[in-house]
Amino acid sequence: MKNKIKKFLIIVSTFMLLTGCAQERILEQLGIITAIGLDKGEEEREVFGSFVTYKFSQQLSNESTPIYSYGRTARDAYNQAFSKTAKQLVTGQLRAVLYGPELAKEGIWPHLNGLQRNQFVTDLLYVTVTDMPAKEVLSAQIYEEAPNVGIYIYKLLDQVVGKEQIIDSSLHEFTKNYMKIGADPITPVLSKKDDRVIVTGLGLFQDDRLMEIIDLREAFYVRLILDEFKAGELQVELPTENYRQFMEDFDPSPEEESFEMTVQQVRSSSTITVKEPENNRFGLDINFEGEIRELNKEIDLESEEVIRMLEKDLSKIIEDNITKILEKTQELNVDSFGFGTFWNSTFKGNKKLSEEEWRKEYPNFQFDVNVKTKILRHGITQ
């Protein structure tokens, strides 16, 4: 019995002593950061940070102003921001981090690795760049039903990624591609238009430096190479010339030189193979399937011939676009698609690909792009 009381007392006193160790973070006393914007500061090596936080008051208007601060690094800017709010700033609900264009061109890794090390920050955080200062983007005032612009950006990117318009770019993906020799990271590009945040394209990085921004149309082809589609959508422009004879039933003399076609329910898969390792020759096979959703000219879709022609043209357009993007990346020496890793894997462990070798060789890589297109259905027309 005495022993039991002793044991009980030990447990209780341990509990009492330990209570001091846990740091309290009571919800309403926190400034919960949902998005961080980082820009180049005025001085050399200075960072300007914008921190978007939750506001828990119903009375105040919807207007949100981020907290701004300067610092030597992102972490320093965050620490400096402490003096500018009565709430305790925490990063546990961080959803997106935005890098201004100037900072991004210099390299974002120094400002990113702090997040990557922080155990409170989720790995699924969106890493993005902006084409105007991040401060500008975060000061957008229209963010629909979202409680603040940070959550709005998160929902926007979720929606865009969900619709398979761009590829996923989480902190995890970014770090992985940055660390890996043979691949370069890609991030979405955000901008502000009419006081709301929009996605404008993809930023191609060389290591941690932003090299080029491509628009959403091109982003489709990036995804086509890198990832598979399950329910994407593609819009293409086709020349009228070849189809003139099939259109005459509906429209005697189509005047425009081209017409638009939208393909939906796109399913695709891509396989990258190393064809001739010694010549750095790669094969890129893409299977592309979809349904015709929209045609702004009427064509006799009943005939097999038209479908074959459409499939052929579509393949050609996709091949051209992919080749164009590949050429662009080679020009910039940005291996966004990770051909370097495929190349590396052909060495079979005898030697490792070195950074210099990869950078030196990438512009000389040769690609055989081969697209197989299949139009599954063309919808009910009658």
Partner 1 sequence: MKRKSMKKKQQSLFPCTLEELQTELKEKAMNNNPDFVMKIVETESEQRIGFYFLYTIVKPQVLYDQIISPVQKAKMTLDIQSIDHMIVLPDSKQKSNLDEIGQLLIQGSVCIYIENDQMSLLHSVPLQEHRSIERAETESLIFGPQIAFTNSIGTNLNMIRNMVDTPHLKIEKFIIGNRIPTEVQMMYMDDIANDENVIELRNRLTSLRTEDVMNSAVLSQQIEDNPYSIFPQFMVSELPDRFSYSIKEGKIGILVDNSPSGIIAPITFSSFFESTDDIYGRWIIGFFTRLMRMFAMIVSITLTPIYVAALTFHYEVIPEALLLSLGESRNRVPFPPLLETLILETMMEFIREAGARLPTKVGQTMGIVGGIVIGQAVVQAGFTSNILIILVALSALASFTTPDYVMGSSLRILRFPIIIFAGFLGFVGFFFMLAFIIIHLLRLRSLHRPYTAPIYPFRFTDFDQSQVRIPFVLNKERPVSNLPKKTERQGRNSHNHPLFKTRGKDIDE
| Residues of the shown chain interacting with partner 1 in the complex, contacts defined by CB under 8 A | 15, 18-19, 22-28, 30, 32, 34, 54, 56-58, 90, 92-93, 95, 120, 147, 151, 154
CB atoms under 10 Å from CB of 174, counted, come to 25
Q: Which is nearer to partner 1, 19 or 253 (CB)?
A: 19
Backbone dihedral region for residue 182 (phi beyond 0: left; psi -120 to 50: alpha; all else: beta)? left
CB nearer partner 1, residue 67 or residue 186: 67
* Interatomic CA distance for residues 197 and 52, integer angstroms: 14
Q: Closer CB to partner 1, residue 17 or residue 380?
A: 17
CA 352 to chain centre: 29
Contact 109, 207 (CB under 8 A): yes
Please, what is the minimum distance in Å from the beta carbon of residue 54 to partner 1? Answer: 6
By beta-carbon proximity to partner 1, the closer residue of 62 and 258 is 62
Cβ distance to partner 1 smaller for residue 25 or 176: 25
At its nearest, how many Å lie between partner 1 and the CB of residue 143?
Answer: 13
Closest by CA to 131, choosing from 186, 191, 194, is 191
Is 295 in contact with 259 (CB distance < 8 Å)?
Answer: yes
Distance CA(156)–CA(380), nearest Å, equals 33
CB nearer to partner 1: give 26 or 380: 26
Least gap, CB of 28 to partner 1 (angstroms): 4
Q: Residue 67 and residue 65: Cα distance in Å, rounded?
A: 7
- Smallest distance from partner 1 to CB 26, Å: 6
CA atoms of 53 and 148, how far apart (whole Å): 7
Q: How far is the CB of 158 from partner 1 (least distance, A)?
A: 11
Phi, psi torsion values for 180, nearest 5 degrees? -80, 135
Residue 140's SS3 state is: coil
Which helix (DSSP H) or strand (DSSP E) does residue 35 occupy?
A: strand 30-40
Token pair, residue 103, equals 């900072």
The least CB distance from residue 145 to partner 1, in Å, is 10
CB of 81 to partner 1, least distance (A): 18
Nearer to partner 1, 58 or 364 (CB): 58
CB of 56 to partner 1, least distance (A): 4
Q: Which residues contact 236 (CB under 8 A, 6 or more apart)?
A: 260, 261, 263, 314, 317
| Sign (positive or negative) of CA dihedral 367, 368, 371, 372 | negative
Q: Which is nearer to partner 1, 87 or 209 (CB)?
A: 87
Please tell me the distance from the alpha carbon of residue 134 to that of residue 10, in angstroms, as a whole number.
54
